[in-house]
Structure 1
Amino acid sequence: MTQQIDSILIVDDSAVQRQHSVALCRELGLGCIYEAANGVEALETLAHLPFPPRVLVIDLEMPGMDGVELIQLLAQRNLHVPLIVASSRESALISSVETMVRALGMQVLAALQKPLNLPQLAAALQRYGGPAATAAGPRRKEAEFGVAQLQAALEQDQIVAHYQPKVDVRTGVIKGVEALARWPLADGSMIPPDRFIPVAEQHGLIHALTMKIAGQACGQIARWNKHGLRLSVAINLSPVLLDSPDFVGEAAELLEHHALGSDQVVWEITESSLVANLGAALGILARLRLKGFGLSIDDYGTGFSSMQQLVRIPFTELKIDRSFVHGAADRHHLRVILQSALDMANRLSLVTVAEGVETIEDWRLLQDFGCTLGQGYLIAKAMSGDELPIWLRRHTQHLRALREGRMPSKP
């Protein structure tokens, strides 16, 4: 586990707590352990080391320069070393600092309450991905593209749909997939969707992109149907299209063309999608429900009007944002919010989908709280349509372990 981690710096003003952390690190096999009694000393140590340590363990409550100020200074100086945040303060404060670290573009391996223990520290260090996986390591240069290249990619079918499984939390049975747009390049790299989707929205290409992905997804669902694999597919619906009077008709034509039932297609709408033209958006969503399509409120909990949207719109599904799922087993405030959202959705007879499921602890919590479906790297990453049946055949033991709440082998 610690082969990649050959050095660590522990920053803590308490000599007792610092020596306790040092002992844990030695027990885990770390050979090079640096210590600093405060933030100033930590910065001096980092300045004199030929190479930065692989990981920093930073206490929050220290006299003079506290841990928050130290982290902010590290970010300002571009010292993006993976962090373990530790404190004896309340979990809400620790969680807030963890969010701050991520917002600064830094990697946080764990945010823990003191005193640290061996399983906690071991689990945190297991999340270390090596220098290339952190902001401190070399980053692969992303391919540049313009509107013309994006349009050509759409016309030449270079942008394709990949599918991430959505699995029943109780049974471990796959129930559906989410269709995700992917733009692979000839050299094996990929342009991230968070780069090309905004460009498509800004330059009038989002309609073509959405219908391209929807067409591929419906065609794939139809092929799976013929082979006895009946799944639903969730397709992201851009807010730009909620002002398009032709969209409902085009969506219905896709079903007819591929001989699908409307219950096999769910349109995912983010909370913020309905702000601009509420009247038009509500009309389109109501017509989609009249056609029998499912409607999912995506990234639930990240906006300020979630409950109001549930009242306004005939949603059939509530998708809880990963920020309320991942790590909830270890954070009281997240657990309370997650359970409240699931309880409310169940009372409203909504299907619940938790995204960002990455650990077995996340999964077990969802089982305890009565979530319907789970989606995330613990189950599987997105894959091509041809790969999914192969993945299913090879991962029956993986899904069985999830059903039983056991840690499966790596998918």
Structure 2
Amino acid sequence: MADWVHALAIIEQVGPMDITLCDLRFEGVNNLELLQSVGRSGLMGAIIICSPLPAEVLRAVRQIVSPLGMVLLGDFNEYSPLRPLQALLEKQKNNSFEVPVSPPVAALVHEEDVRQAFAQRQLQTWFQPKFDLLTGEVCSIEALARWHHPFKGVMPPSVFIPAIEQCGLLDELLFMQLEQGLNLQRQASEQGFSLTVAFNLQVSQLANPHLIPRIRMVLDVHDLPGSGLMFELTETGLLEVPSASLERLTLLRLMGCGLSIDDFGAGFSSLQRLCQLPFNEIKLDAGFVRGVMHEPRCRAVISSTLALGDALGMAVVAEGIETEEQRQLLLELGCTHGQGYWCARPMPGADLLHWLNLQQTASNRFSVTS
């Protein structure tokens, strides 16, 4: 313990560091405990492990440091050439990663702020495409909530969705998104684009007996079929689904709507529940895609999920695709559909329509020149 405290004291004297090289096998210091303490103090940004570690251990370290706001750039053997280290340093320089942030939501957002955001129409719907990994063609889009705060700028859902749930306003958010999503769907159709729109749905919302009739009423008002909608439910919360919720999921399928199990592999729902519930799509958690290049276990999970989806007659969509290398490897594993920054970031509806037209123009130009 004395060595650990001494090491922390030295780091505090030196001050904040952009990149830290860490030998986790260095004897005499509990480096994991040291990393956690330094992470909580905000003194470390990115970390490079300079001791050879099995892929599964490296993945566990990433899971430990990521919630603390630190980025694990990768690892290299201290006896290896300098080039791998240079590549990791270049990765930090180019900022080709996202820093996972878990802000204390309750401290950031209050109920009165949320209600004011609804009243002043500060909550908006952005859309991110899902695409064919082989052709790049857009298959569907996902509706994502964004808060255009007058002082804090555009805030992501991780900041405010828990507060909205605490206020009992998840349904209001869903139907606001439904209106905006269906309007965009109609505009896209008028421009020649047929798009299924996916909406996030919490398991807790299924307890509302008025949910399904209200969705049906919105579809009737827009004179649109349910087949143009997909509802994504996170795997967390699916362990215990009461019979009434199962009935409502079934009604959605009977209306023609699709059901997707989101962040598959990140929660703890059993395969039995996957068989029992009427899903027709699996969205593979982005964490497996991030590890696909260097972690055999991630590739094994992806391959197994693809086989499972095929056996159950369910489409599989890989989330979080950010690089061409990830796309190529996913194709080699047999994954044909994905979502992520490699194709497009989330964007407002008007920007999406413009983007789709640009994509179509580029595709037509390529066809003519070929």
Q: Does 2:347 align with 1:383? A: yes
Q: Does 2:154 align with 1:190? A: yes
Distance 1:54 1:216, change over 3 A: same
Q: Which residue of 1 aligns with 2:133?
A: 169
Q: Does 2:301 align with 1:340? A: no
* Residue identity matched to 2:276: R
Q: Which residue of 1 aligns with 2:236?
A: 272
Q: Which residue of 2 aligns with 1:211?
A: 175
Q: Which residue of 2 aligns with 1:358?
A: 322
Is 192-201 or 326-335 further displaced after alignment?
Answer: 192-201
Distance 1:234 1:75, change over 3 A: same
In the alignment, structure 1 segments of 5+ residues that lack a partner are: 1-37, 401-411
The Cα shift of 1:266 comes to: 0.3
User: In structure 1, the residue corresponding to 2:347 is in which secondary structure?
Assistant: coil
Q: How far apart, in 1, do the equivalents of 2:57 and 2:217 lie?
A: 51
2:91 to 127, 131, 134: 127
Q: How far apart, in 1, do the equivalents of 2:284 and 2:188 lie?
A: 27
CA contact (8 A) 2:239 2:268 kept: no
The Cα shift of 1:325 comes to: 1.2
User: In structure 2, the residue corresponding to 1:161 is in which secondary structure?
Assistant: strand
User: In structure 1, the residue corresponding to 2:260 is in which secondary structure?
Assistant: strand
CA contact (8 A) 1:95 1:111 kept: no
User: In structure 2, the residue corresponding to 1:162 is in which secondary structure?
Assistant: strand
* Residue identity matched to 2:134: R
The Cα shift of 1:316 comes to: 0.9
Q: Does 2:184 align with 1:220? A: yes
The Cα shift of 1:272 comes to: 2.2
Alignment length, in residue pairs? Answer: 357
Q: Which residue of 1 aligns with 2:245?
A: 281
Q: How far apart, in 1, do the equivalents of 2:242 and 2:173 lie?
A: 23
Q: Which residue of 2 aligns with 1:301?
A: 265
CA contact (8 A) 1:87 1:94 kept: no
The Cα shift of 1:92 comes to: 1.1
Q: After TM superposition, list the pairs within 5 Å mapping 1:6-405 onto structure 2.
A: 46-49=11-14, 52-112=16-76, 115-118=79-82, 120-128=84-92, 144-187=108-151, 189-275=153-239, 277-394=241-358
The Cα shift of 1:224 comes to: 0.6
Is 237-246 or 317-326 further displaced after alignment?
Answer: 237-246
Alignment TM-score, normalising by the size of structure 2: 0.86
Post-superposition CA distance 1:271-290 (Å, at most 9, x none): 22334552121111011011
The Cα shift of 1:45 comes to: 5.7
The Cα shift of 1:340 comes to: 0.8
Post-superposition CA distance 1:21-71 (Å, at most 9, x none): xxxxxxxxxxxxxxxxx988965764554x544211212211211543442
Question: Percent identity between the aligned chains?
Answer: 33
Distance 1:255 1:82, change over 3 A: same
Post-superposition CA distance 1:197-243 (Å, at most 9, x none): 11222222111111111121111111111111111111001222111
Q: Which residue of 2 aligns with 1:14?
A: none
Post-superposition CA distance 1:138-176 (Å, at most 9, x none): x9x999543233223223332111001111112110111
The Cα shift of 1:245 comes to: 1.4
Q: How far apart, in 2, do the equivalents of 1:329 and 1:161 lie?
A: 32
